[in-house]
Amino acid sequence: MAAAPTEHGLGFSVGFCVLVGVLVGTLQPYAQRQVNDLQCCCFLCLGVAAMGFGLRLIWLARTALAVPVVLLCCQVRSPDCPEALALRLFKALEPQLGKLQEEISVQVEELSL
């Protein structure tokens, strides 16, 4: 595959990456929030990396390409899955377990989903 330089190539690449990143961040097409966050971050960082390569700022491109890996490492430490949600719900309801066993309805304060 041959690539020919154009005068608008960098702008189109950066614009496309930013547009897709914003769309993924806004529309949240994936069921899990962490996947949406990672996908949005990847496209935005890809746009920044393209700008870094286009402007010959290699440190910017390398940093931008490393950011999604750092985000992924942070997400691996606290995965967002149905099991984690069930565990947070159980911990929030544990003090009111007696009322639940007596079939009395209880209300949970604010639970971060």
pLDDT 10s digits, 67-108: 999 999 998 887 777 787 788 788 878 877 777 777 777 777
pLDDT of residue 45: 96
Domain that holds residue 85: 79-108
Q: Are residues 32 and 85 in the same domain?
A: no
Q: Are residues 37 and 51 in the same domain?
A: yes
pLDDT 10s digits, 5-22: 677 888 888 999 999 999
Is residue 39, in this structure, part of any structural domain at all? yes
Is residue 72, in this structure, part of any structural domain at all? yes
Q: Are residues 54 and 87 in the same domain?
A: no
Q: Give exposure, 2-24, as e/b (b: 16+ Cβ within 10 Å).
A: eeeeeeeeeeebbeebbebbeeb
DSSP track, 20-48:
HHHHHHHH--SSSHHHHHHHHHHHHHHHH
pLDDT of residue 77: 86
pLDDT of residue 85: 77
> Full-prediction pTM beyond 0.85?
no
pLDDT of residue 1: 47
pLDDT 10s digits, 21-76: 999 999 989 888 889 999 999 999 999 999 999 999 999 999 999 999 999 999 88
- The first and second tokens of residue 111, run together, are 């639970």
| Domain count of the fold of the chain | 2
Distance CA 92, CA 100 (A): 12
